[in-house]
Every structure is written in C-alpha cells, then in structure tokens.
Structure 1
Amino acid sequence: MGRPLLAALAAAAALAAAHGTARADLLDDVMKAKKIRVATDLAIPPSGMIDANLKPIGSDVETAQLLAKDLGLELEFVQTTGATRIPNVQTSKADLIVSTLSVTPERAKVIDFTKPYAALQSVVGCLTAMQAKDWPDLKGKTIAVSRGTTQDTTLTNMRDRDLKIARYDDDATMVTAAVSGQADCVATSATIVGQIGVKNPSRAFEPKVPITTFDLAMGVRKGEPRLVERLNAWIADNLRNGKLNAIYKKYHGAELPPEMRGS
C-alpha cells in the first residue's frame, strides 16, 4: 500500500509543478488578445481626466495610448482610484497601471515596477522675472503653501533658511494668492506653478528651486519579467526620442528632469 500511495503523491506533485510551469505569461496573453487593459485614474488632472466630450485625456492617458499604438494593441481603460490601482493588477482586472504611481519600497513588495516614465516634481515657483536659483535667494520672500502638504512640512523644517511661509487651506486658495499678488512664490508641484500664469498672464510663474522629485512608473503584478522588460525597452525608446517628454510638457507645463530625458 505504501508504494501506490507514494506513486500517487509523486504524480500529484508532478502535475502541480507542471501547472505552475505552464502558468500563462502575461505578455503572451496580451499580445494574443491584441488588447491591453490599463488601470488609470481619470479624476486627477492633468494626468487623467474626462473632457467635454466624455473622452479620457491627460498625460497618463496619452502615455497609455502611445504604448498601445506602438504595440499594435487595442486599449481598454480600467477606471481606478489611488486605492484600487494595485489591487486591479493583483486580481487581473487590469494588465498594467499607468496612473501617477510613485515608486516606493512598500509598493515594490507587492507589485513590480517598470523604469520611470515620468516624474512628479515638487518645487518652489516664483514670478518669472524674479532672480532665484537657490534657497538663499528666497530669504524674506513670501512663499505660499497648502496647509499640511509635503511642501508645508519640508519648508517648516527649514528653520535655518529664514523662510516666510503663508499657509492656505487648499491649492485653489494658494493659487489665488499668487495670482492676486499676495505671495511672491509658491511651494507646490511644477504643474500647478505653470497654471498660475494661465489665470493671470501678467503674473506668470516658473519653477525656481527644486524640493524633491518622485519617480512615476508603470506597475505590473509580480512575476511577469518579460512584460516588464518589454515595457522598459518601450519607455527607454520614448524617453530618448522625446515623445514622453512632449506628452508630459503638454499637460504639466514643464519638462521631465534632465537625467530622465537622457536615459
């Protein structure tokens, strides 16, 4: 009785191993289906939004569209939120995340990242005519921030810089302060800095002093190295030829960091 039982267990183990080895490869699946499902938040302008004709637009949207076109695939957007981006790929509701996904060690434990395709730049922006290249140039200048943001925390901790900080409840009131002349500078994303001049062309702002930059990458479920490799090659090509930079500049009003564009 021992031998038949051992034989049955060995056969079961072999069958399980075969199933594990034969697990579908996501890149093959996507190419065979001729469609890629991309999780994108369409409620975070200018990266993802819906236009007046109810069509998705934004920098992440155009990035996904360019990817699908280059791969010869139909594109299906899987609308998501910040909280559901990762679960969408873990449960195979989406093949890929393209949705302002910053690279963090915690996230890298549960999904795989591509190389960065874009960045979220946090800066101090001031009037275009103002000469300010580094922190000492901002001494005595009123810098508007949104209360409780990472920019607020960072500047508050720079007590040795003698910065004059004006706190506002949200980005809208902060921008209003800059537009109306209540603030010389703002500490926020480079994207918002670029929008100030749109509201008041006579008070155009531009990024002056960088605070920090978060890499944004595409996210894939764990265990799909071929898909990640293919995406990395595509990202490298389109950073090199300037297409990803053009998409970013179109919506964010600033170029990608030089070190990223040169990759």
Structure 2
Amino acid sequence: MKRRTLMTSALALAVFAAVPALAVADTLDDIKARGTLRAAIDLGSPPFGMQDANMQPTGSEVESAKLLADHLGVKLEIVEVTSPNRIPFLLTNKADVVVASLSISEERKQVIDFADPHGVIQVIAAAPKDVDIKSVEDLKGKDVATTRGTTNDKEATTQAKDANIVRYDDDATLVTALVSGQNNIMISAPQIMNAVNERRTNDPLEVKFVLKVNPYAVGLRKGEDALKAAINDWVKTDLANGKLNAIYKKYNNVDLPAEMPKP
C-alpha cells in the first residue's frame, strides 16, 4: 500500500511538473485562439517606445510589434513595462513576448530565448563638447548616468569600473536628468542622446566613443519552439521586403546593417 501511495505521489508530481511546460509549448496556439499578441513594450524609451502628442503608443518597437502581430494574423495588445521589469513580466506570463529593444546577451540567454535579431543598438559614452573623454579610463571618478537593468548598465558596470555609475529606473527619467544638467555624462544609446539633445539645445551631448554594438530581438520564454519559428519567419520576411528597415530608419535616421550581426 505504501509503495502504491509513493508511486501515485510520484506520478502526480510528474504531471504537475509537466503542466507549465505544456502551457509554454502552446503559447502560439494561445495567441491565435485569443486573437491578440501581448507584447511587453517600454513606452519610456524613445525612439523605440514612447507616446505621441495624443498619448498614443508610438516608436520603432511599437510599429515592429504591430508588424509581428499582423504576420501572426492577430491584434496587438501592448503590455507597458520598464527596462528592469521587461523580462520578469515575460517570465510571469504577463506578456507573450518582449518587443522592447531587448539586446541579446549571454546572461539573458540563460533565462529566456531570443528570436533572430530585427534591429541593432550601440552602447555609447556621450557628454557635452567641452568634456574631454576619449576612453573608459577618462571616466574614472566621474558621475556616469545610465538606465538600470539594461545592457548599457552592464557595459557601464564592466567597462567603466572606476566611474561613479548613477542608475535611473527608466530611459525617460535618464533623459530628464541629462536635460536638466543633473548629469552630463551618459552611457546609453545614440537614440537616447538624440532625445536628450532635442531638449538640451544649448549644450548638446556628443558621442565620445562606442563601447559595444548589440543586436536586439524579440524575447520569449524558453521552450516555445513554434512561437520562435513563427517570429523568425516574420523577421526573415520583413527584413527581406524592407518593412523593418523602413521602420528603423523612420525613427533612427539610419538604415539597418545590410547583414544583421550574429548574436
């Protein structure tokens, strides 16, 4: 009797453990059955995600997510996130995918999967013209602003070890701090610098040096092979027909690379 009870308990545990895996494997079916793609998008990260004059979501990743939803034959539902909680929202099933200029990194690969890259983003150090900075060594002892939990934060932490890293919870707050002069040096993206300079016209920032070039991609939970294949088909299709490049150029003023870098 005891042996039968143990076997029954073991079987129950095995079935219970399998349920999350089954749920994950069926995400693409769930999206199509629901008729909506829940995409986690950071609307405080211009030009990737932001709000227009009518408080409507816009930006390159917003338009890219709409393209993806169209490719899947469903509507887009935006799940608003910040840089630090993009991945937690995905892992807790508050979103089906992350479409938020999510750079591919080895650390992130340990907890989530990535589709093929559909964009690129540089990590740069920027400061006003009269600030003499040519390398990470020149940042020693200086306040350097970045956004918490991003690959920019990672590069700032690992490469500018002797700087005083000042972390903000989202890109919008980072931009405000730089516009107000609370901080004058940043490690972030050229797009963030452009957003700063739109409002900091008297003393704009300029690129001092590039720390890294990162491809970014749609993030999804591990084990979602069918969803990953569908997203990769979208990337291949809309890179080839120029739709993704048109969106990227509209918001970044430059073309995507002729050949996307391998993550």
Is TM (by shorter chain) over 0.5?
Answer: yes
1:117–1:216 contact (8 Å) kept in structure 2: yes
Structure 1 206/83 Cα, relative in aligned 2: closer, same or farther at 3 Å?
Answer: closer
After TM superposition, the structure 1 = structure 2 runs for residues 222-241 of structure 1, keeping only pairs within 5 Å, are 222-241=222-241
Which whole-Å CA distance do the structure 1 matches of 2:58 and 2:97 have between them?
18
Q: So what's the TM-score if we normalise by structure 1?
A: 0.67
| Separation of aligned partners in 1, 2:188 and 2:82 | 22
For the pair 1:72 / 2:73, whether they are aligned, the reply is yes
Quote how far apart the aligned CAs of 1:190 are: 3.8
CA, structure 1 residues 226+52, in 2 after alignment: closer, same or farther (shift >3 Å)? Answer: same
Q: Which residue of 1 aligns with 2:121?
A: 120
**Contact residue 117 and residue 239 of structure 1 kept, 8 A:** yes
- Native 8 Å contact 1:42 1:80 kept in 2: yes
Q: Which residue of the partner structure matches residue 148 of structure 1? A: 144
2:101 corresponds to which residue?
Answer: 100
User: 2: distance between equivalents of 1:103 and 1:15?
Assistant: 33
SS at structure 1 position matched to 2:259: helix
Once the two structures are superposed, residues 167-196 of structure 1 have per-residue CA deviations (whole angstroms, 9 ceiling, x without a partner) of xx965489xx9xxxxxxxx99744367679
Distance of aligned partners of 1:260 and 1:208 in 2 relative to their CA distance in 1, 3 Å threshold: farther
Residues 192, 258 of structure 1: alpha-carbon distance in 2 compared, 3 angstrom cutoff: farther
Q: Distance in 2 between matches of 1:156 and 1:13?
A: 50
Distance 1:208 1:229, change over 3 A: farther
Q: Tell me the SS of whatever aligns to 1:121.
A: strand
Q: Which amino acid aligns with 1:218?
A: V
The answer for the alignment partner of 2:46 in structure 1 is 45
Do the aligned residues in 1 keep the contact of 2:28 with 2:227 (CA within 8 Å)?
yes
Unpaired segments ≥5 residues, structure 1: 126-140, 158-168, 178-185
In structure 2, C-alpha distance between the alignment counterparts of 1:124 and 1:66, rounded to whole Å: 32
* Structure 1 residue 121: Cα displacement: 2.2
* 1:60-117 per-position Cα deviation (integer Å, ceiling 9, x unaligned): 1000011112221111100101111111111111101001211111111111111111
Q: Distance in 1 between matches of 2:125 and 2:28?
A: 41
CA distance in 2, matches of 1:207, 1:76: 35
Identity across the alignment (%): 38
Greater mean deviation of Cα atoms: 26-35 or 114-123: 114-123
Could you tell me which amino acid in structure 1 is paired with residue 144 of structure 2? G
Equivalences for residues 209-224 of structure 1 within 5 A: 211-224=211-224
Q: Give yes or no for contact 2:46–2:195 (8 Å, CA) kept in 1.
A: no
Instruction: Give 1:39 shift.
Output: 0.5
Consecutive unaligned residues of structure 2, counting only runs of 5 or more, are 146-154, 163-175
CA contact (8 A) 2:103 2:216 kept: yes
Distance 1:199 1:39, change over 3 A: closer
What is the aligned partner in structure 1 of residue 246 from structure 2? 246
Residues 103, 214 of structure 1: 8 Å contact kept? yes
Question: In structure 2, what is the equivalent of residue 16 of structure 1?
Answer: 15
Q: 1:105 to 1:2 in 2, by over 3 A?
A: same
Two-structure CA RMSD over aligned residues (Å): 4.5
The 2-side partners of 1:156 and 1:9 are apart by: 55
Q: Which protein has the larger Cα radius of gyration, Structure 1 or Structure 2?
A: 1
| One-letter identity of the residue aligned with 2:229 | E
The number of equivalent residue pairs is 230
Distance 2:55 2:246 in 1: 24
| 8 Å Cα contact 1:242-1:261 kept in structure 2 | no
* Change in CA separation of 1:261 and 1:105 when aligned onto 2, cut-off 3 Å: closer
Distance in 2 between the 1:221 and 1:92 partners? 9
Name the aligned partner's letter for residue 226 of structure 2. R
CA distance in 2, matches of 1:124, 1:14: 51
Q: Which runs of 4+ in 1 moved over 6 A?
A: 141-146, 153-157, 193-200, 205-209
Retained in 2: the 8 A contact 1:37–1:76? yes
